[in-house]
Amino acid sequence: MFTLIVILLIIVSFLLGVVVLVQNSKGGGLSSGFASSNQIMGVRKTTDFLEKLTWGFAISMLVLAMIGNFVLPKNTTATNTSVIEEQMQNAPIPSGPAPTAPAPAGTAQPAPAGGAQPATPAP
């Protein structure tokens, strides 16, 4: 059912785009091409028809979107935790000392813990 709603929504949105592109914002568009006197609809009726068609497609898109929201398949087995939270809970706790970052260049290095002096380069 949801797939049918989505397909109808795509078709209606395409048709709405076509109808909007046919219209001209200054009153021309499709209606300006009907200049002959032996036409079925007059220029004014063509404009009214396109306007009503635009409103109909827009309202049908709104209704289809609401219906699609209600028939959206719900996943009842999933919990409200994210994948990152699950990975954090299942991650092993590291044992041992924490790694330290190397000191930036140009700063003094602390003396080693054994009391030994660091080796200095020979002049």
Q: What is the pLDDT of residue 38?
A: 41
- State the chain's mean pLDDT as an integer: 76
User: 54 or 116, which is more confident?
Assistant: 54
Please state the length of the chain: 123
**pLDDT at residue 78 greater than cutoff 60:** no
Asked if the model's pLDDT at residue 13 lies above 90, the reply is yes
pLDDT reading at 64 higher than 70:
yes
Asked whether the predicted pLDDT for residue 61 surpasses 80, the reply is yes
HEC letters along 100-118: CCCCCCCCCCCCCCCCCCC
Strands (E), 3-64: none
Q: Identify the pLDDT of residue 74.
A: 78
